[in-house]
Structure 1
Amino acid sequence: MVWFCKRFVFCLSLFCALSAVAQKDPVNEVNPLIGTGNGPIGYGGTMPFVTVPFGMTNWTAQTRQNRLSVTSYEYSDKTIQGFMGTHQPAIWMGDFGYVTLMPEIGALKTTPETRALAYDHAHETTHPDFYSVDMKTQDGKIIHAEMTATERCAYMRFTFPAGVEPRIVLEASRPGINGKASVDIAKGEIAGQNPHRIDNNLGPFALPKFSGYFVAQFRQHTTGGDTYGLNTAAAHGASVTFAKTSAPTVIEVRVGTSFLSVDQARENISKEIPTWNFAATRQKLHTIWQQKLSNLTIAGVTQDERITAYTALYHALLYPRVFSEYGRYYSAFDDTIHNGASYTDYSIWDTFRAEHSLLTLVAPERIDGMITALLQDYKEGGWMPKWPNPSYTNIMIGTHADSMVAEAIRKGFHGFDRELAWKAVYKDAMTPPDGDTTRRWLDREEHTPYEARAGLTYYKQLGFIPTDKTDEATSRTLEDSYDDWCVAQVAKALGRMDDYRFFLKRSLNDRNLFDKSNNLMRGKTSDGKWAPIGGSRDTDGNRSVSGWTEGDAWVYTWSPFHDIAGVEKLMGGPEVANKQLDQHFAGNHNVHKNEPSHHYGYLYDFTGQPWKTQAKVREIAYKEYANLPAGLDGDDDCGQMSAWYLFTALGMYPVNPASGDYMIGSPMYGRMSLKLANGKAFTVIADNNSHSNVYIQSATLNGKPLDRPVVTWEEIQSGSTLHVVMGAQPSKWASSWRPSLPEEALR
């Protein structure tokens, strides 16, 4: 009886503990400061945004003036310059159409440096639905700031100390930019626009009609206000003042943003924040995040691991951003307004690898709209973009929108025009950009036509892009080969079998660059000779003729996701391939902070040594991610770094995202479950899991033995349970599985 009572108490305690975990609010387990600091792990280039998932405008405290390679918020900064509605999607991209507000007391201060106030993180609160901070003036007075948001608007609340005249300064644009601001004291409103696009030097289009518009409405009566800047016709800022009181004063502000007009910015406020109720606005945002984050449930983890996982999901749900407003959108591809919905800020070279694959699982309701937006860009500008911000920027290589289209079709999404999609991917694959043979297509080369597949002329003629003709030629050849495979899959799905066979054969162009002497991919010059393997400079001393994009031969040898089996065969079989992979990791060639390395840890699944994949992906995850401001090694790149972590924690990764296959790694938690849009759930249970028990000993899928390191899209969507038993020693589980060669599909 005593034993029974003890057992009952133990079970009850366990049930209560599990229930407490299950009832935790995941919104409070997001740490938006992860990635904002620089330290031992790295710098993620993130900001503590208050916004909805995929919000059109993100709101953050501004600790410095953002620009290329500088974000608005950096954890180490000691002062705050304002509270900013920003559209900067990544650290190395520019902002556009932004607006900043700042509370002040004393003399008017219009520059970021003079208006900056001291703060410390002990008096700062950051959540996806709320931000607050205490700021200290030079004479020790405290101004308390709070902020919540909607899809296109922000609600700010500033508490001023007693006995001062409160002021709010709004910066419409920076000096030298033709921004405009005006004050209407009777309405208690500042309105204006900011035409600044930091990336306006990239890509083919000037956009004379582009502007970010804003309206700031104040709940409390304004006693005065004025603009500042060069002149009243082109004022780049404005301020309003409020009456001095004997008690602390609360000033509330609703800020609407738009890319259509000032009137639309005002309309966005009326739709999204119709009443002066800060708590209700925050609660609505909290509920939105709670519903989205709660689709992921986790057990058998530490609190830091839970925070790391939910923060990764928060980051993954920020981009691409909504770029339309209640049935209309401004197109940065023809500089006009259209009916419909749109998205922008696709960091496609980064995110096609795993971020978009994750969105098909956690935000499938968005996929049709995101693909449709790319196809609208194609109709309005002539091509699907590779990095719209919000127009063409020509940043990075390849046309990996082809992969996104192929993946959406492979996974059964039907809410976009498939025939139009075929025309778009076919143009990518067959039409060289203007001036293809007269330009080298340098990285961030200014004022060029749209780049598309630079060097495609040579690719079609020679079967590769020569390093003496086009920059980054070797990487381009390998990535274009994968895109050809994706175009082939689109053709097959639409019944275009001749096109399917043509592009599938051409997707094997990656093999033209394999150098058997060292088992590495290697660039070639236009006369068919090998380019220097380690890289060298051409006669002007500036350009590398080895042909790589943010990598080298080691990084890119396994980059053709569709042809892993082909690369292994070229090397001489799995034994040689495994030795090459061993050398890749032993030689520190795997640079996880950059995307071309993201799939490498999973390659042992293909070569018959999946236990090495299990150990390697755990090692990377533990090393590169943590619940710290400096807990993200490398720019998050619109969610790609975070998507890698989430997939790896779940125990799988989409090495070839358009294939619908997910390679199995080493589930990091005791249990993870993902609620699907069809009402079912995909669950991964890992018995005996720990930091040392990283190896899969056995696995079942829905109770049946699983002897392959792969789960498919269909198996996930059916509501499967992957159940693995973990151990501290490698096992031979799934070691007999081998991938097929791409050309086998033609037989």
Structure 2
Amino acid sequence: MIPILKKAMLISIAILSYSFARSEGMNNERVKQPVDFVNPYMGNISHLLVPTFPTIHLPNSMLRVYPERGDYTSVQLHALPLVVTSHRGSSAFRLSPFQGAENQLRPVVNYSYDQEKLTPYSYSVYLDEQQIQVDYGVSHQSAAYEIEFEKDAPSHLILSSGNGALNWDGKALSGYQWIANHTKVFIYLMPDEQPAGVSKLEDGKLAESTTMEGRNACLVLNYPKETKKLTIHYGISFIDENQAKANMEREVVGKSVVELQKEGREIWNNELSKISIKGGTTDERTVFYTSLYRCYERPVCISEDGRYYSAFDKSVHNDNGRPFYTDDWIWDSYRAHHPLRVLVDKKKEEDILNSFVRMSEQMDNFWWPTFPEITGDSRRMNSNHGVATVIDGYRKGVRNFDLEKAYEACKGAITEKTLAPWSGKPAGELDEFYKEHGYIPALYPGEKETIPEVSSGEKRQPVAVTLGTSYDEWCLSQIAEELGKKEDAAFFKKASYNYRNLFNEKTRFFHPKDKDGKFIEPFDYKFSGGMGARDYYGENNGWTYRWDVQHNIPDLIAWMGGEAQFVKELDRTFTESLGRSKYGFYAQLPDQTGNVGQFTMANEPSLHIPYLYNYAGQPWKTQKVIRKLIKEWFRNDLMGVPGDEDGGGMSAFVVFSAMGFYPVTPGIPGYSIGSPMFKRVLLRLENGKTFEIEAKNASDENKYIQSATLNGKKLSTPWLLHQAIENGGKLVVEMGPKANRSWGVE
């Protein structure tokens, strides 16, 4: 984009955002911008498993940090972080400012701390026992610390690497740390004042040296007691130390922490302002914008001055003008995270899909990635849902990537790679069985696993894999149709019905079968399957996977016995008891938290379930349930996220549902309408157009749609086409306190 035009566009967005917020009339308090509503601490205490992390970073950027501690409730910080190389990872390097006796020096200093203040773009903390004030500002691949020492004593800066090498060149500290899979992260760190001396710290003892290598490599910069303040600029790289230095010089040299924070704040506001909201409570706006902020944590752009290091082939590449993205857990993100980006950042989604094509070309096998990370594809979870991101994006106008190559890579990932979960091995005996019989066979309790492609630390998850692969094959059939590959389209379309092979008509559940086609009996849909129900399902039990037919919901309704029976069974999902004490239930199913009956708000395979009432003639129940779930499980507090948030995988559900619609079936260019929470939502699209949702009288009580119009014309169905949004326009819904049971059933 022409720089002047781009600048004018950003200014226009800022003005529109300001005007939009101003119209709320906030009782003389300072008008808040979107980033002011972000609470990075939301969900930092988990209900059971992994919490959210208060991440300081710029949108989709390579450099991410957060305070390192055991968990939010910990009273100690483990040094100061310099770079987190993966979502949920620990810092690759640690910086420890210290004043005290030399025999107290450690590679990583544990600090008592207070007065911590954190935003998406800034960090500040007081290390109270050490009496050191720390302030931090971040850019894309570089950052800066300002450190103020209060004690009248010599000062030290300790830089440590868990497994790598460090060097002082007379001006700066540089080095690397091994991560995994032949991947290193490099650092170049420059203090604004030169130290009086440099030492290595080994086995608790200081020795004069400017280099150290190996486990817990540690160098110490020693300063006289007159040193009261230090500013430290640093850059990181996955290419080499020279590139880390170049990143630092390009982004942060000559800038103060305050200047970096100001720039970061502006960048975040520009991104978050792509969706403006009016109405709702302060807490509701906080939940919304915090959820949106989470959607920018992954994937990350690792292009550095036109180059990037790829762990997929362990080489440095030119990016040819297209940024390269990785660290995307697609099993979690295909459902809502990718579709949200298609709406608000289409060009970035094109670059991400283009990155997936490159990864496929770079790997030993031309297979679409499933869990691409900084260190390569970890092939986690079940199925290969990356194929859904391809057809969903393409059908919504994301075109600037090679669809033919994407199709061949996706096809290879489903037909040549094993379907066994958590495995990157080629297809084998299990896959041949699936191709012949249309389902993955299950083992009986106690029966030994003999299939070599099944990961030794996992189970074959036969129902989850069969259902997930049926959807993946539907996605393949749709891409084949777009490419005019009629034979492939017909083949995979037929295979997309394989979920029927595990449907138990007596119980109306998807039920595991043995290799002879017999249902495993006796069977409990809540608890059979061992830890996480993985012997048969995956992280969730049979009540969740009962609804895992995203691509053919009308057929699922028919197999359930029609709309009335379908609704009855949906209702049961929300009312069925845990069946055990909470202790007993979560001891076996720790991923299935956030329960309303057997429905779990805490795991991605459940996200579409509340919207299924729309397909069976009772959209008012979708409206009721969605409001209940958002209000109860997503809150502006430390436990305000019900389960593993997965860097945007779950938060995107909140963003969509609060706006009032949701992509139930990625691959179909449309959305299922729920219950808009805010009186007004304005989507600013990349094509320069806007789409507005006005929910008249929307409130906690007024959760039900009474009537609706789209661009002035009556809307009588609970569906919204993607093209209607892309074209720009306005959806107006009249909200009320009691259900209009006739709306949306025509």
For normalisation by structure 2, the TM-score amounts to 0.86
- 2:280–2:699: 8 Å Cα contact kept in structure 1? no
**Alpha-carbon spacing, 1:132–1:662, altered in 2? closer, same or farther (3 Å):** same
Question: Hey, what does 1:130 align to over in structure 2?
Answer: 122
Please state how far the C-alpha of 1:542 moved relative to its aligned partner. 8.5
- Kindly report which structure 2 residues correspond to 1:95-114, keeping only aligned pairs within 5 A, or say none: 98-108=92-102, 109=104, 111=106
Matched, 1:280 2:259: yes
Question: Hey, what does 1:395 align to over in structure 2?
Answer: 380
* More divergent stretch after superposition (303-312 vs 645-654): 303-312
- Kindly report which structure 2 residues correspond to 1:515-530, keeping only aligned pairs within 5 A, or say none: 515-530=504-519
Please state how far the C-alpha of 1:513 moved relative to its aligned partner. 1.1
| 3-state SS of 2:640 partner | coil
Which of 218, 223, 245 is the equivalent residue of 1:237? 218
- 2:392–2:668: 8 Å Cα contact kept in structure 1? yes
- Kindly report which structure 2 residues correspond to 1:591-740, keeping only aligned pairs within 5 A, or say none: 591-737=600-746
Question: Hey, what does 1:163 align to over in structure 2?
Answer: 152
* More divergent stretch after superposition (558-567 vs 220-229): 220-229
Which of 72, 75, 85 is the equivalent residue of 2:72? 75
Question: Hey, what does 1:70 align to over in structure 2?
Answer: none
Deviation track 1:535-585 (CA, whole Å, cap 9, x = no partner) reads: 7889xx989685101112210111110111111001111011010101111
Which of 543, 557, 568 is the equivalent residue of 1:554? 543
Question: Hey, what does 2:240 align to over in structure 1?
Answer: 261
- 1:183–1:226: 8 Å Cα contact kept in structure 2? no
Question: Hey, what does 2:131 align to over in structure 1?
Answer: 142
- 2:44–2:51: 8 Å Cα contact kept in structure 1? yes
Structure 1 residue identity aligned to 2:65: W
Counterpart-to-counterpart distance in 2, 1:718 and 1:22: 35
- 1:602–1:655: 8 Å Cα contact kept in structure 2? yes
Which of 195, 198, 212 is the equivalent residue of 1:225? 198
Which of 426, 430, 436 is the equivalent residue of 2:415? 430
| 3-state SS of 2:188 partner | strand
- 1:429–1:487: 8 Å Cα contact kept in structure 2? no
- 2:46–2:52: 8 Å Cα contact kept in structure 1? no
- Kindly report which structure 2 residues correspond to 1:56-455, keeping only aligned pairs within 5 A, or say none: 56-64=62-70, 74-87=71-84, 89-91=86-88, 94=89, 98-108=92-102, 109=104, 111=106, 115-120=109-114, 123-137=115-129, 141-173=130-162, 177=163, 179-184=164-169, 186-187=170-171, 189-197=172-180, 207-208=181-182, 210-229=183-202, 232-234=212-214, 236-245=217-226, 249-340=228-319, 341-381=323-363, 382=365, 383-390=367-374, 391-433=376-418, 441=420, 449-450=424-425, 455=430
Please state how far the C-alpha of 1:277 moved relative to its aligned partner. 2.6
Which of 36, 53, 63 is the equivalent residue of 2:59? 53
- 2:22–2:31: 8 Å Cα contact kept in structure 1? no
Deviation track 1:66-122 (CA, whole Å, cap 9, x = no partner) reads: xxxxxxxx321111122213435444xx55x8222121111345547x7212123xx
Counterpart-to-counterpart distance in 2, 1:640 and 1:37: 18
| 3-state SS of 1:657 partner | coil
| 3-state SS of 1:502 partner | helix
Please state how far the C-alpha of 1:220 moved relative to its aligned partner. 1.6
Counterpart-to-counterpart distance in 2, 1:663 and 1:22: 36
Counterpart-to-counterpart distance in 2, 1:15 and 1:321: 35
* More divergent stretch after superposition (383-392 vs 529-538): 529-538
Counterpart-to-counterpart distance in 2, 1:684 and 1:542: 43
Structure 1 residue identity aligned to 2:212: T
Question: Hey, what does 1:71 align to over in structure 2?
Answer: none
Please state how far the C-alpha of 1:473 moved relative to its aligned partner. 1.0
**Alpha-carbon spacing, 1:507–1:16, altered in 2? closer, same or farther (3 Å):** closer
Question: Hey, what does 1:744 align to over in structure 2?
Answer: none
| 3-state SS of 1:171 partner | strand
Which of 9, 26, 36 is the equivalent residue of 2:34? 26
Counterpart-to-counterpart distance in 2, 1:229 and 1:362: 50
Structure 2 residue identity aligned to 1:617: I
Structure 2 residue identity aligned to 1:467: A
Please state how far the C-alpha of 1:731 moved relative to its aligned partner. 1.1
**Alpha-carbon spacing, 1:621–1:229, altered in 2? closer, same or farther (3 Å):** same
Counterpart-to-counterpart distance in 1, 2:535 and 2:241: 50
Structure 1 residue identity aligned to 2:224: A
Counterpart-to-counterpart distance in 2, 1:524 and 1:56: 45
Please state how far the C-alpha of 1:22 moved relative to its aligned partner. 10
* More divergent stretch after superposition (637-646 vs 82-91): 82-91
- 1:182–1:227: 8 Å Cα contact kept in structure 2? no
Unpaired segments ≥5 residues, structure 1: 1-12, 65-73, 198-206, 738-747
| 3-state SS of 1:491 partner | helix
Which of 432, 435, 442 is the equivalent residue of 1:467? 442
Counterpart-to-counterpart distance in 1, 2:565 and 2:531: 36
Question: Hey, what does 1:8 align to over in structure 2?
Answer: none
Structure 2 residue identity aligned to 1:312: S
Counterpart-to-counterpart distance in 2, 1:351 and 1:111: 40
Structure 2 residue identity aligned to 1:369: D
Please state how far the C-alpha of 1:329 moved relative to its aligned partner. 1.3
Q: How many pairs are equivalent?
A: 675
Counterpart-to-counterpart distance in 2, 1:171 and 1:36: 26
Question: Hey, what does 2:12 align to over in structure 1?
Answer: none
| 3-state SS of 1:126 partner | strand
- 1:220–1:242: 8 Å Cα contact kept in structure 2? no
Please state how far the C-alpha of 1:452 moved relative to its aligned partner. 8.2
Question: Hey, what does 1:482 align to over in structure 2?
Answer: 471
Matched, 1:458 2:427: no
Structure 2 residue identity aligned to 1:424: A
| 3-state SS of 2:569 partner | helix
Matched, 1:534 2:524: yes
Counterpart-to-counterpart distance in 2, 1:544 and 1:583: 20
Counterpart-to-counterpart distance in 2, 1:228 and 1:554: 55
Deviation track 1:179-202 (CA, whole Å, cap 9, x = no partner) reads: 111223x21x111110033xxxxx
Structure 2 residue identity aligned to 1:339: N
Counterpart-to-counterpart distance in 1, 2:513 and 2:611: 28
For normalisation by structure 1, the TM-score amounts to 0.86
Deviation track 1:669-722 (CA, whole Å, cap 9, x = no partner) reads: 111111111111121111121112211111111111101111111011111211
Counterpart-to-counterpart distance in 1, 2:696 and 2:50: 32
Counterpart-to-counterpart distance in 2, 1:20 and 1:519: 57
**Alpha-carbon spacing, 1:454–1:76, altered in 2? closer, same or farther (3 Å):** farther
| 3-state SS of 1:606 partner | helix
Deviation track 1:128-176 (CA, whole Å, cap 9, x = no partner) reads: 1111011111xxx521111111111111111111522222111211xxx
Structure 2 residue identity aligned to 1:119: Y
Structure 1 residue identity aligned to 2:272: L
Calculate percent identity across the aligned residue pairs. 31
CA RMSD of aligned residues (A): 2.4
Structure 1 residue identity aligned to 2:123: Y
Counterpart-to-counterpart distance in 2, 1:238 and 1:725: 65
Counterpart-to-counterpart distance in 2, 1:454 and 1:728: 56
**Alpha-carbon spacing, 1:668–1:22, altered in 2? closer, same or farther (3 Å):** farther
